[in-house]
Amino acid sequence: MENIVIPENYTPVLDVFQTQRAIKTVKDTFERVLSDALSLTRVTAPVIVKADSGINDDLNGVERKVEFDMKNIEGTAQVVQSLAKWKRMALMRYGFKTGRGLYADMSAVRRDDTADNLHSVYVDQWDWEKVITREQRTVEYLKDTVISIVRAVCATHLTVKAAFPKLSHITCETPYFITSQQLEDMYPALSPRERENEIVRQKRTVFIMQIGGVLKSGRRHDGRAPDYDDWSLNGDLLMWSDVLNCGIELSSMGIRVDERSLASQLKEAGCEDRMKYEYHQMVASGTLPLTIGGGIGQSRLCMLMLEKAHIGEVQSSVWQADTEKTCKKAGIPLL
């Protein structure tokens, strides 16, 4: 049970039925505000992809995918872990123009995630991707996009609080930007997670940039697949939770690799064999558009806005027996 935190004197602000209505308010509102802010069109996304396509997200490169064979289709299929690569190919196939993008309501299974207050083997997020120019592959453009997303979060939160006045959490509309190396320099004695909590405790809304490469300490701030984000132009968005007394990562996002960053990152990660896949060849040849994109956790956003202590209060998933017993005893209703 060391993975579960039970906040002292915790009582849900909304009951189960109010929570279900509030979840719909959060999701309906945020989809609309985000799509307007970033010029995105909703598209239908896959739950499974072919195992030999190279499209599935490899996350940190060690997570096992859910894989199975099919009755009358050759090969094997995998349940997606995210849509990082699929989205970029979809932008090309659908003919999206520069400045326009797509978003999808994604459901995934990550069987190797450690279930706790913020993690579930079931993942639901808004996956989005947008076509940009080479001139927009800059830190400034990345920051401007982050600011737009944070404003969409705050606008949604105001709508939800108006509909459910008992909610009192305050979100900070001004993100604080810092690189993972600057964060390590500030708190060299802390672990990456401890550093994140310390800076988010102070600033409330933080975007930690440049995640994936090795820091001066010889360690990485966090793992990142080498073939979708450009490690010099990416980051994680975190907001502070008063309920859990920690930062909640709402989004991992970034400007995607071009032919140069793909080659260098695959070499650094020892994954040059991935160049056999169509996706990687299309990036290397410049066939795929240059893009920016990311994922925004639906359940985590609901947790933050609805002031919940456990992700199981806003999504239905599978939990350890001890977790179910402990949460029931603490008055935390898992769906």
Any residues with CB less than 8 A from the CB of 289 and at least 6 apart, and which?
Answer: 88, 91, 92, 96, 98, 131
Measured between alpha carbons, how far is 154 from 174 in angstroms, rounded to an integer?
Answer: 10
Nearest C-alpha neighbor of 129 from the set 226, 57, 193, 75: 57
CA separation for the pair 33, 327 (Å, rounded) = 34
Tokens of 22: 């509030």
Contacts of 123 (CB under 8 A, 6+ apart): 81, 82, 106, 107, 108, 109, 110, 113, 297
Catalytic residue among 35, 78, 81, 125: 125
Widest pairwise Cα distance in the chain: 57
Closest CA relative to residue 268, chosen from 312, 220, 315 = 220
Say whether 110 is catalytic: yes
List 252, 261, 299, 315, catalytic entry:
252
Beta strands in the chain (DSSP E): 40-42, 48-50, 67-69, 76-79, 101-109, 122-131, 176-179, 205-209, 229-241, 246-256, 291-297
- Beta-carbon contacts of residue 260 (< 8 Å; ≥ 6 apart): none
Q: Is 281 a catalytic residue?
A: no
Q: Which residues contact 249 (CB under 8 A, 6 or more apart)?
A: 118, 196, 236, 237, 238, 297, 300
Q: Which residue has the tokens 């500030």?
A: 186
181 in catalytic set: no
Question: Which member of 31, 57, 129, 196 is catalytic?
Answer: 57
Catalytic residue (choose from 249, 259, 268, 324): 249
35 flagged as catalytic = no
Marked catalytic residue, from 58, 236, 258, 313 = 236
Residue 297: beta bridge partners? 125
28: how many CB neighbours lie within 10 A of its CB? 12
User: Which amino acids are annotated catalytic?
Assistant: 57, 110, 125, 236, 249, 252
